[in-house]
A and B are shown apart, each in its own frame.
Chain A
Amino acid sequence: NAGVTQTPKFQVLKTGQSMTLQCAQDMNHNSMYWYRQDPGMGLRLIYYSASEGTTDKGEVPNGYNVSRLNKREFSLRLESAAPSQTSVYFCASSSNANTGELFFGEGSRLTVL
Protein backbone atom coordinates (compact mmCIF):
# COMPACT_ATOMS: atom_id res chain seq x y z
CA ASN A 1 0.00 0.00 0.00
CA ALA A 2 2.11 2.90 -1.32
CA GLY A 3 -0.23 5.83 -0.51
CA VAL A 4 1.35 9.04 -1.87
CA THR A 5 4.66 8.70 -3.70
CA GLN A 6 6.91 11.61 -4.57
CA THR A 7 9.99 11.72 -6.77
CA PRO A 8 12.74 12.73 -6.52
CA LYS A 9 13.42 12.71 -2.79
CA PHE A 10 16.44 14.99 -3.13
CA GLN A 11 17.48 17.41 -5.85
CA VAL A 12 20.10 20.13 -6.24
CA LEU A 13 19.60 22.72 -8.94
CA LYS A 14 21.44 25.77 -10.15
CA THR A 15 19.62 29.08 -10.41
CA GLY A 16 17.66 29.22 -13.64
CA GLN A 17 17.39 25.48 -14.17
CA SER A 18 14.00 23.84 -14.50
CA MET A 19 12.66 20.67 -13.00
CA THR A 20 9.45 18.78 -12.30
CA LEU A 21 8.45 17.12 -9.04
CA GLN A 22 6.27 14.09 -9.58
CA CYS A 23 3.50 12.89 -7.29
CA ALA A 24 1.20 9.89 -7.56
CA GLN A 25 -1.44 8.47 -5.21
CA ASP A 26 -3.07 5.06 -5.30
CA MET A 27 -6.02 5.76 -2.97
CA ASN A 28 -8.45 6.92 -5.68
CA HIS A 29 -8.57 10.38 -4.09
CA ASN A 30 -10.11 13.28 -5.96
CA SER A 31 -8.10 16.13 -4.46
CA MET A 32 -4.35 16.64 -4.57
CA TYR A 33 -2.11 19.37 -3.18
CA TRP A 34 1.41 20.73 -3.27
CA TYR A 35 2.80 22.37 -0.12
CA ARG A 36 6.20 23.79 0.68
CA GLN A 37 7.69 23.78 4.16
CA ASP A 38 10.36 26.19 5.30
CA PRO A 39 11.83 26.40 8.82
CA GLY A 40 9.46 28.22 11.16
CA MET A 41 6.87 28.76 8.43
CA GLY A 42 4.68 25.69 8.67
CA LEU A 43 3.24 24.32 5.45
CA ARG A 44 2.15 26.75 2.77
CA LEU A 45 -0.13 25.72 -0.06
CA ILE A 46 1.31 26.25 -3.54
CA TYR A 47 -1.40 24.75 -5.78
CA TYR A 48 -4.19 22.31 -5.38
CA SER A 49 -6.46 20.28 -7.61
CA ALA A 50 -9.97 19.56 -6.36
CA SER A 51 -10.57 17.02 -9.09
CA GLU A 52 -9.08 15.69 -12.31
CA GLY A 53 -8.83 18.47 -14.86
CA THR A 54 -8.94 21.38 -12.40
CA THR A 55 -6.17 23.29 -10.65
CA ASP A 56 -6.19 26.40 -8.47
CA LYS A 57 -3.61 28.65 -6.90
CA GLY A 58 -2.86 28.47 -3.20
CA GLU A 59 -1.02 30.91 -0.95
CA VAL A 60 2.37 30.95 -2.71
CA PRO A 61 1.94 30.02 -6.42
CA ASN A 62 4.47 32.41 -7.98
CA GLY A 63 7.30 30.62 -9.79
CA TYR A 64 5.43 27.32 -10.04
CA ASN A 65 3.15 25.52 -12.47
CA VAL A 66 1.18 22.33 -11.99
CA SER A 67 -0.40 19.63 -14.10
CA ARG A 68 -3.10 17.20 -13.03
CA LEU A 69 -2.21 14.54 -15.55
CA ASN A 70 -4.95 12.14 -14.46
CA LYS A 71 -6.68 11.23 -11.23
CA ARG A 72 -3.54 9.62 -9.81
CA GLU A 73 -0.83 12.11 -10.76
CA PHE A 74 -0.17 15.76 -9.91
CA SER A 75 3.14 17.30 -10.92
CA LEU A 76 4.81 20.55 -9.84
CA ARG A 77 7.14 22.36 -12.20
CA LEU A 78 9.74 25.02 -11.51
CA GLU A 79 10.45 26.72 -14.83
CA SER A 80 13.40 28.84 -13.67
CA ALA A 81 14.53 27.89 -10.18
CA ALA A 82 15.55 30.57 -7.69
CA PRO A 83 17.35 30.21 -4.33
CA SER A 84 14.11 31.31 -2.61
CA GLN A 85 12.58 28.04 -3.81
CA THR A 86 14.97 26.01 -1.68
CA SER A 87 12.53 24.11 0.49
CA VAL A 88 10.95 20.78 1.32
CA TYR A 89 8.00 20.07 -0.95
CA PHE A 90 5.13 17.83 0.12
CA CYS A 91 2.46 16.39 -2.07
CA ALA A 92 -0.81 15.37 -0.42
CA SER A 93 -4.17 13.93 -1.35
CA SER A 94 -7.61 13.73 0.17
CA SER A 95 -10.82 11.94 -0.63
CA ASN A 96 -12.96 15.10 -0.45
CA ALA A 97 -14.84 13.63 2.48
CA ASN A 98 -15.56 16.04 5.33
CA THR A 99 -12.70 14.83 7.50
CA GLY A 100 -9.98 17.46 7.11
CA GLU A 101 -7.57 14.59 6.56
CA LEU A 102 -4.74 14.84 4.07
CA PHE A 103 -2.37 12.01 3.25
CA PHE A 104 1.17 13.26 2.67
CA GLY A 105 4.06 11.93 0.68
CA GLU A 106 7.52 11.69 2.25
CA GLY A 107 8.67 14.99 0.80
CA SER A 108 11.14 16.21 -1.80
CA ARG A 109 14.11 18.19 -0.55
CA LEU A 110 15.13 20.79 -3.11
CA THR A 111 18.21 23.00 -2.94
CA VAL A 112 18.72 25.80 -5.45
CA LEU A 113 22.25 27.18 -5.58
Chain B
Amino acid sequence: GQSLEQPSEVTAVEGAIVQINCTYQTSGFYGLSWYQQHDGGAPTFLSYNALDGLEETGRFSSFLSRSDSYGYLLLQELQMKDSASYFCAARGSTLGRLYFGRGTQLTVWP
Protein backbone atom coordinates (compact mmCIF):
# COMPACT_ATOMS: atom_id res chain seq x y z
CA GLY B 1 0.00 0.00 0.00
CA GLN B 2 0.82 3.64 -0.08
CA SER B 3 1.08 5.93 2.92
CA LEU B 4 2.12 9.57 3.14
CA GLU B 5 2.25 11.47 6.42
CA GLN B 6 2.29 15.24 6.75
CA PRO B 7 1.21 17.61 9.55
CA SER B 8 -2.43 18.63 9.44
CA GLU B 9 -1.85 22.30 10.26
CA VAL B 10 0.93 24.87 10.28
CA THR B 11 0.71 28.57 11.13
CA ALA B 12 3.21 31.38 10.54
CA VAL B 13 3.37 35.15 10.14
CA GLU B 14 3.97 37.15 7.00
CA GLY B 15 7.60 37.28 5.99
CA ALA B 16 8.50 34.14 7.92
CA ILE B 17 9.80 30.78 6.65
CA VAL B 18 7.85 27.57 7.10
CA GLN B 19 8.74 23.95 6.37
CA ILE B 20 6.13 21.28 5.68
CA ASN B 21 7.44 17.75 6.11
CA CYS B 22 6.29 14.60 4.37
CA THR B 23 7.26 11.00 5.04
CA TYR B 24 6.17 8.24 2.72
CA GLN B 25 5.89 4.50 2.43
CA THR B 26 5.18 3.23 -1.06
CA SER B 27 5.63 -0.06 -2.83
CA GLY B 28 7.29 1.72 -5.73
CA PHE B 29 8.74 5.19 -5.77
CA TYR B 30 9.78 7.45 -8.61
CA GLY B 31 9.54 10.90 -7.03
CA LEU B 32 7.72 13.32 -4.74
CA SER B 33 5.48 16.17 -5.87
CA TRP B 34 3.97 19.10 -4.02
CA TYR B 35 0.64 20.75 -4.76
CA GLN B 36 -1.12 23.86 -3.47
CA GLN B 37 -4.87 24.12 -3.11
CA HIS B 38 -6.81 27.20 -2.09
CA ASP B 39 -10.26 26.75 -0.56
CA GLY B 40 -12.76 25.74 -3.22
CA GLY B 41 -10.12 25.55 -5.91
CA ALA B 42 -8.23 22.95 -7.87
CA PRO B 43 -4.84 21.61 -6.78
CA THR B 44 -1.98 23.27 -8.64
CA PHE B 45 1.48 21.84 -9.13
CA LEU B 46 4.39 23.41 -7.26
CA SER B 47 7.39 21.12 -7.61
CA TYR B 48 8.69 17.62 -8.22
CA ASN B 49 11.80 15.86 -6.89
CA ALA B 50 12.93 12.68 -8.62
CA LEU B 51 16.45 12.80 -7.19
CA ASP B 52 17.82 13.53 -3.73
CA GLY B 53 18.49 17.15 -2.97
CA LEU B 54 16.94 20.58 -3.08
CA GLU B 55 14.93 22.07 -5.94
CA GLU B 56 14.30 25.81 -5.82
CA THR B 57 11.51 27.66 -7.60
CA GLY B 58 11.29 31.26 -6.50
CA ARG B 59 10.12 31.51 -2.89
CA PHE B 60 9.38 27.79 -2.75
CA SER B 61 11.92 24.98 -2.42
CA SER B 62 11.43 21.24 -2.15
CA PHE B 63 13.78 18.62 -0.78
CA LEU B 64 13.93 14.84 -1.09
CA SER B 65 15.89 12.16 0.72
CA ARG B 66 15.15 8.74 -0.76
CA SER B 67 17.17 6.91 1.88
CA ASP B 68 15.01 8.47 4.62
CA SER B 69 11.71 8.29 2.63
CA TYR B 70 11.34 11.95 3.51
CA GLY B 71 10.80 15.25 1.82
CA TYR B 72 9.79 18.76 2.67
CA LEU B 73 8.43 21.92 1.11
CA LEU B 74 10.06 25.16 2.23
CA LEU B 75 8.15 28.39 1.81
CA GLN B 76 10.09 31.63 2.29
CA GLU B 77 8.99 35.26 2.63
CA LEU B 78 5.48 34.11 3.41
CA GLN B 79 2.60 36.15 2.06
CA MET B 80 -1.07 36.14 2.99
CA LYS B 81 -1.88 34.57 -0.37
CA ASP B 82 0.19 31.51 0.64
CA SER B 83 -2.59 30.52 3.06
CA ALA B 84 -3.80 27.27 1.51
CA SER B 85 -3.57 23.50 1.81
CA TYR B 86 -0.37 21.83 0.67
CA PHE B 87 -0.22 18.21 -0.42
CA CYS B 88 2.72 15.93 -0.95
CA ALA B 89 2.20 13.20 -3.52
CA ALA B 90 4.35 10.18 -4.27
CA ARG B 91 4.74 8.93 -7.82
CA GLY B 92 4.29 5.18 -7.63
CA SER B 93 5.27 2.31 -9.86
CA THR B 94 2.88 3.20 -12.67
CA LEU B 95 3.95 6.13 -14.79
CA GLY B 96 2.26 9.31 -13.63
CA ARG B 97 0.10 7.66 -10.95
CA LEU B 98 0.25 9.86 -7.82
CA TYR B 99 -0.70 8.99 -4.25
CA PHE B 100 -1.54 12.01 -2.12
CA GLY B 101 -1.07 12.79 1.54
CA ARG B 102 -3.96 14.23 3.54
CA GLY B 103 -2.71 17.77 3.24
CA THR B 104 -1.33 20.49 5.51
CA GLN B 105 -3.42 23.59 6.10
CA LEU B 106 -1.10 26.62 6.20
CA THR B 107 -2.41 29.80 7.76
CA VAL B 108 -0.36 32.97 7.34
CA TRP B 109 -1.11 35.75 9.82
CA PRO B 110 -0.39 39.44 9.22
Contacts and interface: CB of A to CB of B under 8 A. Distances in A.
Contact of A100 (B2, B32, B42, B43): B32
A94 interface: yes
Nearest to B47: A100
A43 B48 contact: no
Interface in A22-75: 31, 33, 35, 40-45, 48, 50, 56, 58-59
A100 B45 CA distance: 9
Interface of A: 31, 33, 35, 40-45, 48, 50, 56, 58-59, 90, 94, 96, 98-107
Interface in B81-110: 87, 89, 91, 94-103
8 smallest A-B Cβ distances: which pairs? A100-B48, A100-B33, A104-B42, A42-B102, A43-B100, A42-B100, A101-B45, A31-B96
Contact of B43 (A45, A90, A94, A99): A90
B60 interface: no
B91 to A, nearest CB: 5
A64 to B, nearest CB: 16
18 contacts: A33-B98, A43-B89, A48-B96, A48-B97, A96-B95, A98-B31, A100-B30, A100-B32, A100-B48, A100-B89, A100-B98, A101-B48, A102-B33, A102-B35, A102-B98, A103-B45, A104-B42, A104-B44
